[in-house]
Amino acid sequence: MEAVGTRQGQLLRLLAASGEPVPVLELGERLRVSRRTVFRELGEIDQVLEPYGLHLATATGRGLFLAGEAADKARLLADLGSAGDGPADRYERLPRLALLLLEEGEATAEPLAWYAARLKVSEATVSHDLAQLDAHVARYGLQVVRRQGRGVYSAGSEQARRRALAWAWRELESLGVGRRPRVGHTPGFLDEVRWMTPESLDALDLYLALAAHRIEGGHAVEPAPADQAYLPAARRLAAIVAEPGGPAQPERTDPWPEPEIAALSVFLSACRHVREDTVAGPVPFERQALVFRLIEAFDPGAAPLLKLDEDLVTGLTLHVASALVRLDQAIDLDDPLAEQLAATYPGVLSRAARAARLLARPGRTVPDAEISFLAAHFGAALHRLQERGLNRRRVRVGVVCLAGIGSSYLLAAQLKSRFGREADIEVADPGTSGTGFDLIVSTVPLPDCPRPVVEVAAVLDQADADRVAAAVAQAARTARREDASVKPSHPGFIDALAGLATDAQGLVRGFTAVEADDDCTIDRLARLAGYRFGEDAASGKAIYTDLMAREHLSSQVIPELGVVLLHARTEGVDAPVFALLLPRSPAFTQPELKGARAAVVMLIPPAANPDRTALMGALSAALIQSEPFLADIAAHRPAQVLGDVTAHLETFLVDFTHRLKG
């Protein structure tokens, strides 16, 4: 066939492969050129098409097409083959040049002419592109090196080269002109990696393909440092993957070199998990403490409640293990949720970014993907709070302003503008007693009002708005009662409900309020809990040890609520426990307890299933969000507290029935 240029070849492929006319604008967008360039490239194309019995035609209002028989178009496509398959422009040429340069690293250096021949451009163009590429890959820790008499090659770590290669393949895939190398997925391999998230599995595909290519060429990775940390399970999987005939080397008869297996172990340790039961063994104290600091940094006000979400704590503990490896090794993963999170949960994303600073490494900021991963954990936790039946109810706010009725309605209008979705706002009589309202917002002091009063100016400033927001949030915290309607049966429903009902009955029957000395410390309260709720000395010691371990991770004194929360998973109990330790006086006197009026004991066996954990989670959340419940605890009213516990457990069981059967 007639010789065709790169761009002409691509245009012919697009037109021959299309069964419909293609608009010129679309052709230009596909090739990233102007309409004028499209027409220029196709101006002399008929001499190429003539031997095939085809010609370029125009469909008015629809675009360009190749007129002729389908068989002739197929023949043209076959003959085009690799003709004109060089990069169409610098957008495609740059990642292709990166692939040529990076796949071998320092092991192979080639002259400019070698690159020019493969890209079908001049040496001057390659030289110019190399300067651009050098600036681009520098962000991954790589350098483009030119040596007289040796050629051009890339210098940098294996991790850096892998990140840059991943970028190059993603660029070509996004342009529709290339697919990254893949490894064979045998059924056994898929079973082994079923715990991975899709983006981690995709990154592993690329890692294995590049590693197999490198090993086949005799370019083994440098040995990992002796103190390089990886998860034991990752080491086991790395050995399986690297076996002869494994997914990355089905044709090889000898195993990977030891440094390659160690490097793969590190990479596998950086992969993200979709299940929480995939990593066994004790969790290091430092990691547990870091998880609680992340929660506190995400939302200091909601931290006491979020720390009680076992799913969040467990999920973050598992996530942090791999995140720290990724940050230490500068391993980047694709983030499939970034745009959705930014559009839907900007507040969660910004708070996650604040928490992510705790993970930063010297000289390197936390990548956006890691922030999104954290945001997904926290966003799920916030949704779980709502699903547990503890949504805020609308608050009735009364507005009082003595400057006149106009000023009253002006203030009410400002409040409606800011808080209309959360509160019903009405102008109240200045002499109101607060009856019928949850909160009063006033421009003057109301010392005798029995309801909470927020004093503001007639024209709200930001400080006033913040104080009103805090008061509305406080007034809104209350338990929600769900509709008890029952729908058709659900497999296993009877057994699940029976087990939870037994737990709830045990919590109610086992509830007790234990008298404690006023001068108790955290240590003494934990010992008292172990003594009272352990079946024997061994179980009592286990309760004490686990409560103190939790205290060392994060203080269990919650001044905002006026309680000490002795909360732990422990081998010391075989069924959930909810109880109170109450001082003889209104409050504990030791400074470290910060005036707490009670200690709330919540214990759960370590192997508790998710439903049992959710049952205790509902009590934890109710403790934070239900003011009557908290007030009864603070006032040392055990009988009323028992009633509150019973009501909240009943609400949970009704809600559980509704959700499971719905």
Count of CB atoms situated within 10 Å of the CB of 316: 26
DSSP assignment letter at 591: G
pLDDT of residue 89: 63
Pair 156, 143: CB distance under 8 Å: yes
Instruction: Provide the b/e sequence for 260-274 (b: ≥16 CB within 10 Å).
Output: bbbbbbbbbbbbbbe
Pull the structure tokens for residue 127.
Answer: 């030289």
pLDDT number for residue 29: 74
Residues 652 and 632: their CA atoms lie apart, in Å, by 20
In sign, the C-alpha dihedral spanning 183, 186, 189, 191 is positive
Please name the amino acid found at residue 656.
F
Q: How many Å from the N-terminal Cα to the C-terminal Cα in the chain?
A: 66
Tally the residues of the chain.
662
CB atoms within 10 A of CB 357: 12
CA distances from 265 to 105, 364, 428, 494 (A): 22, 23, 68, 44
The pLDDT of residue 176 is 60
Rounded Cα–Cα distance for residues 295 and 312 (Å): 9
Taking each continuous run of H as one helix and of E as one strand, the counts in the chain are 27, 13
Place of tokens 């002795």: 566
CA distance 589 to 597: 9
**Cβ proximity of 86 and 6 under 8 Å:** yes
**pLDDT at site 483:** 32
Residues of the chain with pLDDT under 70: 1-6, 32, 81-90, 103-108, 174-188, 190, 213, 217-232, 245-253, 274-283, 334-341, 343-345, 383-394, 402-409, 421, 430-435, 477-493, 608, 658-662
pLDDT of residue 340: 64
- Give the dihedral sign, CA 436/438/440/445: positive
Phi-psi region of 483 (alpha: psi -120 to 50; beta: other; left: phi over 0): beta
Instruction: Report the alpha-carbon distance of residue 563 to residue 626 in Å, rounded.
Output: 14
Distance CA 370, CA 333 (A): 8
This prediction's pTM? 0.53
Query: What's the pLDDT score for residue 417?
Result: 78
Domains and their CATH numbers in the chain: 6-80 (1.10.10.10), 90-175 (1.10.10.10), 187-269 (no CATH), 285-387 (1.10.1790.10), 395-476 (3.40.50.2300), 493-661 (3.40.930.10)
